[in-house]
């Protein structure tokens, strides 16, 4: 009876191992597979096995099963019991891949890349197709998370021939997302392999201007590369671009308040929008019809969208009011694609919602980019007391620290009478050694300033008085009144600030036309006119910006791009107050 039981157990173990393994070749070693057994059964069989290689195979299988059950800690514990160097090459690749997958589950990108640098991974192309796909996939994810975009695309391209159906389409979309994010100068390649084909496709599409030009570029590329995976199945964003080209906009709704607190803001936006429309007509284009709706009088967003659909509207520009934008962002779907003229705080928004505004956070990030481009690393900051100042400081801090900068001091501007003391506190004025001359702290290389012109007028002379006149000041556009007041500008000599192209380039023909009709467009209200112009120019380009993440539109409110969350982000040119005048500064490479 006991002999029969032993024989039965041996047969069970043999069957279990057969279910757990496959043999790519005798020299590479067997590979584990997910078996018809529980985690505990696998571990028990591993503990009872007299064969070290079979015990290791069972533990690899158990670790893999735990990973697939999302029991990551348990998978890590089991995998730690397997000695990598005692395994055969196929098992080493399997273990390294699983180790990388577990590292990525903990957001440990560097550890994943280290796991995949094991010498056995060099033999990946000798492995079964499913292991190749699994290893390339986690390697691509890790490289992308590490900012190695081109290398990530290379990993995905390497496995494209191994995939079919939905898996191939998803991989194509992922490759396109990676290569489309690369600047054109990084897409130069002479290689004729799969990745070279992807790069030449991205270069062709990015180099084309209009939707029609892009369609021609795609068609030409497909004719030249008929066997390429992207020619066989175009990536989804390029399919959508094709649809856009075949469905030109004929009716746009402009949804803005005509009454209430935002009426004057709304009027400037509307006038800029309409001015851009007339300019397009004068240039011989065939611009869409604009239908005007008053957001201060609509009963509900549902009734508005019903009316707009009945009117044949294809795109909505607006609303401006933050509560309405918040309502839109809370929905899962919108009946018509919408470019809201404000931002919600929601992280998840419907796929039909795009957001555009004059966000102070964009300017805070712009200051961080400019200061970094100028070689600075240690910042002080002065921002207003309250929620607005906190948001601006947070945006600056995130951008600054993400790129290796440090903030060594912060002051929140409150009452004018306290400003002088706050400046002194920030620069830490003190007596220096045996000298009778006071000195400022030396660990601060510049000050990030978000302030009104009146506050900046007080702060810059105070810095001079506090022996910190040599400390550079980088400010948001809020310091610039665009009033032409030379005395005010003199008080701010040396302050560098970012600003809209509209206000820094008075010779722009459209600005001249608009300011001739509405003189206030030449002052600080000009930013809103510029935003209105850019809202119009964005309407035919939302699909392009989404499909081509690295692409930009040179607008009058800034250089415009789109984030993954479909928010329009601005980069701005720079100027400096010099002897009571505004002097434009050369651009830097961000």
DSSP per-residue letters across 108-158: -HHHHHHHTTSGGGGGGGGS-HHHHHHHHHHHHHHHHHTT-HHHHHHHHHH
Classify residue 175: in a domain, yes or no. no
Per-residue model confidence as pLDDT tens digits over 501-517: 999 999 999 999 999 99
The answer to whether residues 313 and 442 belong to one domain is: no
Report the CATH number that the domain containing residue 291 is assigned in CATH.
Answer: 3.40.50.2300
Q: Say if residue 24's pLDDT is above 70.
A: no
Instruction: Give the least confident one: 164-173, 313-322, 461-470, 486-495.
Output: 461-470
Nearest residue to 511 (alpha-carbon basis) of 280, 308, 279, 344: 279
- Percent of the chain scored above 70 by pLDDT? 92
Phi-psi sector, 580: left (phi>0), alpha (psi -120 to 50), beta: left
> Is the same domain home to 381 and 302?
no
CATH number at residue 16: 1.25.40.10
Q: What pLDDT is stored for residue 4 in this prediction?
A: 44
Please calculate the CA angle 425-464-501 and round it to the nearest 5 degrees: 100
CA dihedral sign of residues 376, 381, 383, 388:
positive
Are residue 364 and residue 488 in the same domain, yes or no? yes
- Phi, psi (rounded to 5 degrees) for 214: -65, -40
Q: Is the pLDDT of residue 480 over 90?
A: yes
Number of domains making up the chain: 3
Q: 298 CB contacts (<8 Å, ≥6 apart)?
A: 255, 304
R_g (Cα) of the chain, nearest Å:
30
292 pLDDT more than 80? yes
Whether 312 and 288 map to the same domain: the answer is yes
d(CA 509, CA 203): 32
What is the pLDDT, as a whole number, of residue 37? 85
Question: Domain range holding 313?
Answer: 251-355
Q: Which of 362, 358, 354 is nearest to 543 (CA)?
A: 354
The reply to whether 388 falls in a domain is yes
Within a domain: 102: yes
Tens-place pLDDT, residues 393-439: 999 999 999 988 999 999 999 877 777 888 888 887 655 555 556 66
61, 19: one domain: yes
pLDDT of residue 534: 97
pLDDT, average across residues 77-83: 94
Residues 464 and 367 in one domain: yes
- Is 557 a domain residue? no
At 209, is the pLDDT very low, low, confident or very high (cuts 50, 70, 90)? low
| Cα gap 238→103, rounded to integer Å | 33
- For residue 191, name the pLDDT band (cuts at 50, 70, 90): confident
Average pLDDT taken over every residue of the chain: 89
- Considering the domain architecture, whether residues 45 and 132 belong to the same structural domain is answered as yes
Nearest Cα neighbor of 405 from 446, 377, 443, 372 is: 377
Strand 353-355 to strand 438-439: parallel, antiparallel, or no bridges (unpaired)? Answer: unpaired
Note whether 84 and 61 are same-domain residues: yes
Domain assignment of residue 187, yes or no? no
Specify whether 432 is located in the same domain as 580: yes
Please report, for residues 137, 167, 216, 270, the alpha-carbon distance to residue 172 in angstroms, rounded to integers and kept in the order given. 12, 9, 20, 41
Q: Compute the CA torsion angle 579, 582, 586, 587 (nearest 10 deg).
A: 140
Q: Looking at the structure, do residues 364 and 333 belong to the same domain, yes or no?
A: no
Clarify whether residues 380 and 467 are in a common domain. yes
Model confidence at 583: pLDDT above 50: yes
Query: Tens of pLDDT along 326-380?
Result: 999 999 999 999 999 999 988 899 999 999 999 999 999 999 999 999 999 999 9
Helix, strand, coil percentages for the chain (3-state, nearest 5): 55, 15, 35
Using CA atoms, how far residue 253 sits from 86, 250, 302, 308, in Å, is: 68, 10, 15, 7
- Same domain (yes/no): 378, 275: no
- 211-220, 252-261, 484-493, 578-587: which range is least confident on average? 211-220
Q: Which of 118, 147, 176 is the last residue of a domain?
A: 147
Kindly report the pTM of this predicted structure.
0.71
């Amino acid at each position: 009876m006991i002999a029969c039981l032993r024989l039965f157990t041996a047969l069970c173990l043999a069957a279990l191992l057969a279910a757990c393994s496959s043999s790519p070749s005798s020299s590479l070693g067997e590979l584990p597979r997910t078996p018809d057994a529980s985690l505990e059964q696998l571990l028990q069989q591993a503990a009872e096995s007299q064969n070290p290689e079979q015990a290791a195979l069972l533990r690899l299988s158990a670790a893999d099963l735990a990973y697939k059950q999302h029991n990551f800690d348990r998978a890590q514990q089991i995998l730690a019991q397997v000695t990598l160097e005692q395994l055969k090459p196929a098992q080493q690749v399997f273990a390294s891949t699983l180790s990388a997958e577990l590292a990525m589950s903990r957001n440990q990108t560097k550890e994943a890349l280290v796991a995949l640098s094991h010498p056995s991974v060099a033999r990946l192309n000798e492995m079964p197709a499913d292991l190749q796909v699994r290893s390339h996939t986690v390697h691509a994810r890790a490289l992308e998370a590490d900012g190695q975009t081109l290398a990530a695309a290379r990993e995905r391209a390497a496995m494209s021939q191994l995939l079919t159906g939905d898996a191939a389409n998803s991989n194509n979309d992922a490759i396109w997302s990676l290569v489309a994010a690369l600047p054109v100068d990084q897409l130069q390649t002479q290689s004729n392999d799969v990745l070279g084909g992807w790069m030449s496709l991205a270069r062709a599409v990015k180099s084309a201007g209009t939707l029609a030009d892009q369609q021609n570029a795609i068609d030409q590329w497909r004719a030249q590369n008929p066997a390429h995976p992207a020619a066989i199945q175009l990536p989804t964003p390029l399919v959508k671009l094709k649809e856009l080209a075949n469905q030109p906009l004929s009716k746009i709704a402009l949804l803005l308040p005509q009454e209430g607190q935002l009426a004057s803001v709304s009027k400037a936006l509307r006038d800029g929008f309409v001015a851009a429309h007339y300019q397009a007509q004068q240039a011989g284009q065939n611009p869409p019809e604009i239908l005007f709706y008053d957001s201060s009088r609509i009963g509900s967003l549902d009734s508005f969208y019903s009316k707009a659909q009945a009117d044949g509207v294809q795109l909505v520009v607006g609303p401006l009011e933050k509560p309405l934008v918040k309502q839109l962002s809370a929905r899962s779907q919108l009946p018509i694609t919408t470019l809201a003229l404000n931002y919600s705080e929601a992280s998840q928004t419907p796929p039909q919602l795009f957001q555009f505004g004059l966000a102070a956070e964009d300017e805070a990030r712009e200051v961080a980019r400019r200061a970094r481009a100028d070689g600075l690393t240690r910042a002080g900051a002065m921002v207003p007391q309250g929620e607005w100042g906190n948001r601006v400081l947070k945006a600056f801090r995130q951008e600054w620290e993400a790129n290796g900068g440090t903030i060594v001091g912060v002051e929140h501007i409150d009452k004018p009478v306290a400003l002088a003391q706050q400046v002194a506190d920030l620069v830490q004025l003190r007596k220096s050694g045996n000298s009778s001359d006071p000195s400022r702290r030396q660990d601060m290389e510049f000050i990030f300033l978000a302030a009104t012109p009146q506050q900046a007028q007080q702060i810059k002379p105070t810095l001079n008085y506090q022996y910190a006149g040599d400390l550079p000041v980088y400010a948001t556009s809020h310091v610039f009144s665009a009033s032409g007041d030379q005395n005010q500008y003199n008080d701010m000599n040396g302050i560098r600030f970012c600003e809209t192209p509209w206000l820094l380039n008075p010779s722009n023909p459209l600005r001249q036309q608009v300011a001739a009709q509405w003189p206030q467009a030449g002052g600080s209200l000009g930013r809103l006119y510029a935003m209105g112009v850019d809202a119009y120019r964005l309407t035919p380009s939302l699909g392009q910006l989404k499909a081509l993440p690295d692409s930009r539109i040179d607008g009058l409110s800034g250089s415009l791009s789109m984030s993954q969350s479909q928010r329009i982000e601005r980069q701005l040119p720079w100027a400096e107050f010099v002897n009571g005048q505004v002097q434009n500064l050369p651009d830097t490479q961000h």
